[in-house]
Amino acid sequence: MTETPIKGPASYFPAIEKRYGRPIGEWQALIRQRLPARHMELVAFLKLEHGMGHGHANALVAATLAESER
């Protein structure tokens, strides 16, 4: 059996964990602590406070907010 490739924001997760040294769950907890902040406010927080690149921050925020809407 072949694995289905991960698509969407979650496709960035392995690179985020490797580059920034924290599991995705920790990043998502930080994001959830700042809710109900807006999407771009959360992206800016990750970029400014944690030195994260825009694409990685955006992917984390998008995935976390999508989970919260379920």
pLDDT tens string 8-24: 888 999 999 999 999 99
- Distance, CA of 36 to CA of 64 (rounded, Å): 12
Q: What is the average per-residue pLDDT within 48-70?
A: 93
| pTM, rounded to two decimals | 0.88
Q: What is the mean pLDDT of the chain?
A: 92
Q: How many CB atoms lie within 10 A of CB 8?
A: 10
Q: How many CB atoms lie within 10 A of CB 70?
A: 4
Quick one: what percent of the chain has pLDDT higher than 70?
94
Element (H, E) at 57: helix 54-69
